[in-house]
Structure 1
Amino acid sequence: MADVVSRLGLGTSPLGNLYAEVTEREARAVVDAAWETGVRIFDTAPHYGLGLAERRLGAALRERPRDEFLLSTKVGRLLVPDPGGRGLDPEGFAVPATQRRVWDFSAEGVRRSLESSLDRLGLDRVDVVHLHDPDDHWDQAVHEALPALVELRRQGVISRIGIGMNQWQMLARFVLESGSDTVDTILLAGRYTLLEQPALAELLPLCARLGVEVVAAGLFNSGLLAMQEVPASATYDYRTAPAAVVDRARRIAAICARHGTTLPAAALWFPFGHPAVTGALIGARTEAEIRANVAVFATPVPAALWAELRDARLIEVGVPTP
């Protein structure tokens, strides 16, 4: 089981109070349960709860042997005090709006962001630093942020450089134009899942050819694939899912049930059918959630499931499966 679980990582946006509050005790229980079940990859970002996720994750990992886990965070959004902030964070995290995010992919912004992240984490280093959502900041990300990360990697401050986005097109451009000598890994959220695979035609073959590792995130498409019984109120891409998308998920779930497995299990296993995908991130709000998902992932889903999904045209014939 350990070899299987080693491919799973804990994504910590829920620990930053995404959509709803998670208590300190609940957050700590999630990280502890992830560790106890064999998870050794942890991903966070300043964006998640205005630094709350970093603080909570660092507090839970500080007492762990540092060489036994891989830690990633992100740069691109600096957190600055906002004394005039009122109410809760307007970007969906249930935290006080005492800070605000400022886009900054400059070399100095990268260094400041990483230094602040280390302060919040209370750790001496992170292993991977991702450019976080540089969709509207291509020039500065390429000409300032990436060279700054390359220098930090050369100095041994970080080990790997990544880019994390919710789209595949710009990720492909980063990989193609920067090359594997610059980009070690990409974090692809929501665009290579059991529900949809737009990254298959171009991005994943490119990464496989150049040796850039792909970590799949958003495997549940922000909630839609997280439960066997898909509710009409399920979320997709961080908003209420269209009825047609809910129907598609329910059809997949029905086939999963016929094969003695579940929609979340198939969603967790699916991306590993592609050789470029080396890892996957899952989020959890409770100890029970992380334990259940790790247990599900420990047992592969039946091969016949993928065949029936192809027959039903719920995945295309050329899509690789585990």
Structure 2
Amino acid sequence: MIDLPAWGLGAAALGNLFSSVPDETARATVDACWEAGVRYVDTAPHYGVGLSEERVGAALRERPRGEFVLQTKVGRLLVPGPGTGRDTEGFDVPDRRVRVWDFSATGVRRSVEESLQRLGLDRVDVALVHDPDDHLDDARAGAFPELLRMREEGLVRAVGAGMNETAPLIGFVEEFDLDVVLVAGRYHLLDASAADGLFPAAQRAGTAVVLGGVFASGLLAHAEPPADATYRYAQTPPDLLDRARRTAALAREHGTTLPALAVHAARAHPAVASVLLGMRSPQEVRHNAALLAQEVPGTVWAALRSADLLPAGLLAPGEGPS
């Protein structure tokens, strides 16, 4: 199993996710991560149609290669686009390149080679099959066997899968010798469903679990969740907004904040090897580093449990599996 740092940079935002990030800000963000001790960076061809990889590579090229873990993904190849409009998949970039799904063995090898060109680096450490939800058979037949061959050849150090849904990840962990699974938005203060199936399967297989989306795409990132906070990239349902606000109120009573609870809860389960935090500015990097360094009072977890504000399956810091 690859040794993963406890937290890392999720670099989707550096591909201009939802809004543009200036080049100098993207570079300053990666530099701030380095200064904060971050040595794990997750990117993908999907993020900004290659822009995230280009920016990450430019910022890391000057760093000692043996001192960081670089993770990218396969499943989408980038091909020339019309160049007359904007990306249609959530990134504020021109459509000079577009994505084509390809989970074949040839496509996977080509994807890694082209990622290396964009990164300007000699290797990636972790390669994940990315979002194969509608291509499960193709991923099983092509992508996973090819990544395992590439690991044997020494072209990548570790392989795995990254998805939002847990059921397919459980199947992949049980079928293939995977080093890492990245699950987004399925283990946090409002939804701990990844603990019911995926975490035990990964522990049995010796597969490291990495979490993304621990702020639930925005709702848990606010000390006081606003009415327009997003959950799973959409408007937050009223019941979840109320629950988040009640959690935030209890956090304040105990001298802490909702975002601090979110990051500390994410790291508490023994199956979780690392947590990826999406950041788009040096200020966000410093804010998140401070959250992780903050000492959260143990009393808040008991209060949340008593108020029935922790989801089933979520382990608070200091708790063990039942």
Identify the residue that residue 198 of structure 2 maps to in structure 1. 203
**Deviation, structure 1 residue 208:** 1.4
Identify the residue that residue 276 of structure 1 maps to in structure 2. 271
CA distance in 2, matches of 1:26, 1:86: 26
Identify the residue that residue 37 of structure 1 maps to in structure 2. 36
CA shift digits 1:176-216 (9 cap, x unpaired): 222xxx21110010001111111112111111122111001
Matches within 5 A, 1:248-287: 248-287=243-282
**Deviation, structure 1 residue 319:** 3.0
Kindly provide the amino acid, as one letter, of the partner of residue 134 in structure 1.
P
- The answer to whether the 8 A contact 1:134-1:141 is kept is yes
Kindly provide the amino acid, as one letter, of the partner of residue 147 in structure 2.
L
CA distance in 2, matches of 1:143, 1:200: 28
**Deviation, structure 1 residue 300:** 3.3
Kindly provide the amino acid, as one letter, of the partner of residue 228 in structure 1.
A
Matches within 5 A, 1:193-232: 193-232=188-227
CA shift digits 1:149-177 (9 cap, x unpaired): 01110010000001000111111111122
Which residue of the other structure, out of 289, 293, 310, is the alignment partner of 2:284?
289
- The answer to whether the 8 A contact 1:269-1:300 is kept is no
Please list every run of at least 4 consecutive aligned residues from structure 1 whose deviation after the TM superposition is greater than 6 angstroms.
Answer: none
Identify the residue that residue 89 of structure 2 maps to in structure 1. 91
Identify the residue that residue 320 of structure 2 maps to in structure 1. none
- The answer to whether the 8 A contact 2:214-2:262 is kept is yes
CA shift digits 1:79-134 (9 cap, x unpaired): 11012x53211111000011111110000110111111100000000000000001
Kindly provide the amino acid, as one letter, of the partner of residue 48 in structure 1.
Y
- The answer to whether the 8 A contact 2:187-2:314 is kept is no
Kindly provide the amino acid, as one letter, of the partner of residue 61 in structure 2.
R
- The answer to whether the 8 A contact 1:44-1:74 is kept is yes
CA distance in 1, matches of 2:205, 2:144: 18
Of 222-231 and 61-70, deviating more is 222-231
Matches within 5 A, 1:1-322: 6-83=5-82, 85-178=83-176, 182-316=177-311, 319-322=314-317
CA distance in 2, matches of 1:318, 1:115: 40
- The answer to whether the 8 A contact 1:6-1:38 is kept is no
CA distance in 2, matches of 1:242, 1:103: 32
Question: For the aligned residues, what is the CA RMSD?
Answer: 1.3
CA distance in 1, matches of 2:5, 2:158: 18
- The answer to whether the 8 A contact 1:6-1:40 is kept is yes
**Deviation, structure 1 residue 286:** 1.1
- The answer to whether the 8 A contact 2:21-2:280 is kept is yes
Q: What TM-score, normalized to structure 1?
A: 0.95
CA shift digits 1:278-300 (9 cap, x unpaired): 10000111110111101110123
Tell me, which stretches of 5 or more residues in structure 2 are unaligned? 318-322
CA distance in 1, matches of 2:311, 2:236: 22
CA distance in 2, matches of 1:272, 1:45: 23
Tell me, which stretches of 5 or more residues in structure 1 are unaligned? none
**Deviation, structure 1 residue 318:** 5.2
CA distance in 2, matches of 1:86, 1:245: 40
User: Kindly tell me: are residues 101 and 316 of structure 1, through their superposed partners in 2, closer, same or farther at Cα, counting changes over 3 Å?
Assistant: closer
CA distance in 1, matches of 2:99, 2:256: 41
CA shift digits 1:269-316 (9 cap, x unpaired): 112221110100001111101111011101231211111111111114
- The answer to whether the 8 A contact 2:192-2:313 is kept is no
Task: Give the share of equivalent positions with the same residue, in percent.
Answer: 55
- The answer to whether the 8 A contact 1:310-1:317 is kept is no
Q: What TM-score, normalized to structure 2?
A: 0.95
User: Kindly tell me: are residues 91 and 317 of structure 1, through their superposed partners in 2, closer, same or farther at Cα, counting changes over 3 Å?
Assistant: closer
